[in-house]
Structure 1
Amino acid sequence: MASNAITAPTYDPTSTAKALADKYISGAQTQLTNQTKAASDTAKALSTLSGAISTFQTSLASLAGIGHSMLAQSATLSDTTLGTATAKSTATPGTYSVFVKQVATPSQLAYNVADYDLSGEQQPDGTYQPGMLKLNLADPADLAATPVTINVDLAAADADHNGTLTARELAAAINQSGDNAGKVTAGIVTIGTGPTATSRLVLTSTKTGAANTISLDTSGVLNANLKTALDAAPTVTSTAQDAIVNFGDPSDPTTEVKQASNTFTNIDGVAFTATKAQAPGATPITLTVGSDTSGTTANVQAFVDAYNKLKSALDGLVSAGDPDTNTAAGAFAHDAGVTALRNRVIDLLRPSGVLSLASYGITAARDGTITLDSTRLQKQLAVNPTGLDTLIGSASASAPSGVSGALNTYLNTWTKGTTGTTGQIKQRTDANTTLQTRLTSRQADLDTRYDAAYQRYLKQYTALQALQSTMQNNSSMFSALFTSDSSN
Structure 2
Amino acid sequence: MASVITAPTYDPITTATALAEKYVGARREQLASQTRIAAATERSLTDLGSAISSFQTSLAALTGTGKALYTQTATFSDTAIGSGTAKANATAGTYSFFVQQLATSSQVAFSGLTDDRGVGGELIVKMGTESFAVDLKKADTDNDGILSTRELAAAINAAPDNASRLTASIITTGATSELVLTAKGTGANTEISLDTAGVTVAAGDPDAPPPASSLVTANGSMRRLVRAQDAIIQIGAGGAADSTSIQQASNTFTNIDGVTMTFVKAQAAGDAPVTITVGPNDTATTANVRAFVDAYNKLTTSLAKLTYSGNPASGAAAGVFANDGGVRALQDRLVNLVRPVGGASLASFGIVAAKDGTLELNSDRLLSQLATSPNGLDKLIGSTSAAGASGIASELDKYLKVWSDSANGQIGKRKSATQDLQSKLGEREALIDQQFDAAYQRYLGQFTQLQNMQNIMNSNVSLFDALFGNDKD
TM-score by length of 1: 0.66
Q: For residue 457 of structure 2, what is the aligned residue in structure 1?
A: 471
- Paired position in structure 1 for 2:14: 15
Find the counterpart in structure 2 of residue 157 from structure 1: none
State the superposition RMSD in angstroms.
4.2
Post-superposition CA distance 1:108-160 (Å, at most 9, x none): xxxxxxxxxxxxxxxxxxxxxxxxxxxxxxx997894579xxx9x9xxxxxxx
Q: Distance in 2 between matches of 1:437 and 1:460?
A: 35
Looking at structure 2, the residues matched to 379 and 330 of structure 1 have their Cα atoms a distance apart, in angstroms, of 41
Within the alignment, does 1:277 sit opposite 2:287 as a pair? Answer: no
Paired residue for 1:452? 438
CA contact (8 A) 2:101 2:233 kept: no
Residue aligning to 1:434 = 420
Alpha-carbon contact 1:17-1:455 (below 8 Å) kept: yes
Q: Structure 2 regions of 5+ residues with no counterpart?
A: 108-124, 142-153, 158-163, 187-229
Find the aligned partners of 1:79 and 1:426 in 2 and give their Cα distance: 56
- State the Cα distance separating 1:57 from its structure 2 match: 1.9
Are 1:99 and 2:99 matched, yes or no? yes
- Select the residue among 320, 345, 355 that pairs with 1:331: 320
Once residues 98 and 22 of structure 2 are traced to their aligned partners in structure 1, the CA distance between those partners, rounded to angstroms, is 87
Which residue number corresponds to residue 399 of structure 2? 410
Write the distance in 1 (CA, Å) between the matches of 2:63 and 2:432: 54
CA deviation string 1:80-135 (max 9, x = no partner): 23444333435454536373955989x9xxxxxxxxxxxxxxxxxxxxxxxxxxxx
- Closer, same or farther: CA 266–45 of 1 in aligned 2, 3 Å: farther
* Cα contact 2:96–2:273 (8 A) shared by 1: no
Q: Do 2:92 and 2:279's aligned partners in 1 also have CA atoms closer than 8 Å?
A: yes
CA shift, 1:5, in A, is 4.5
- 1-structure distance, mates of 2:3, 2:454: 17
- The AA in structure 1 aligned to 2:472 is S
Question: 1:376-426: per-residue Cα shift (whole Å, max 9, x none)?
Answer: 11111222223222222223455543322222232222223xxx8312222
CA distance in structure 1 between the partners assigned to 2:381 and 2:92 by the alignment: 21
AA at the equivalent of 1:374? S
Is residue 315 of structure 1 aligned with residue 301 of structure 2?
A: no
- Identify if the C-alpha distance between structure 1 residues 19 and 141 changes in structure 2 by more than 3 Å, giving closer, same or farther: same
- What amino acid is aligned across from residue 279 of structure 2 in structure 1? G
Following the alignment from structure 2 to structure 1, what is the Cα–Cα distance between the partners of residues 175 and 35?
76
Aligned to 1:423: 409
Q: Which residue of 2 aligns with 1:215?
A: 169
Q: Displacement of 1:431 after TM fit? A: 1.9
Provide structure 1 residue ranges, at least 5 long, that are not aligned to the other structure.
108-138, 154-178, 184-209, 218-227
3-state SS of the aligned residue for 1:58?
helix
**After superposition, what is the alpha-carbon deviation per residue over 1:357-394, rounded to whole angstroms, capped at 9, x for unaligned?**
11111112222221111111111122222322222222
Letter in 2 for 1:286: T
Per the TM alignment, residue 256 of structure 1 is displaced from its structure 2 partner at its CA by 4.2
1:450 CA drift (Å) = 1.8
1:319 positional shift:
0.7
Alignment of 1:234-249 (within 5 A): 245-246=231-232, 248=234
The residue number in structure 1 matching 2:374 is 385
Q: Is the 8 A contact 1:77 1:287 kept in 2?
A: yes
Pairing 1:487–2:441 present? no
Structure 1 residues 375 and 50: CA distance shift in structure 2, 3 A: same
Residue 324 of structure 1: SS of its match in structure 2? coil
Separation of aligned partners in 2, 1:323 and 1:212: 76
CA contact (8 A) 1:64 1:70 kept: yes
AA of the residue aligned to 2:169:
S
d(CA) in 2 for partners of 1:265, 1:468: 105
Q: 1:446 is matched by which residue type in structure 2?
A: I
Q: Matches of 2:80 and 2:20 in 1, distance apart?
A: 84
Instruction: Normalising by structure 2, report the TM-score.
Output: 0.68
Shift in alpha-carbon separation, 1:231–1:468, aligned structure 2, 3 A = farther
Sort the Cα spacing of 1:435 and 1:213 in 2 relative to 1 into closer, same or farther, 3 A: same
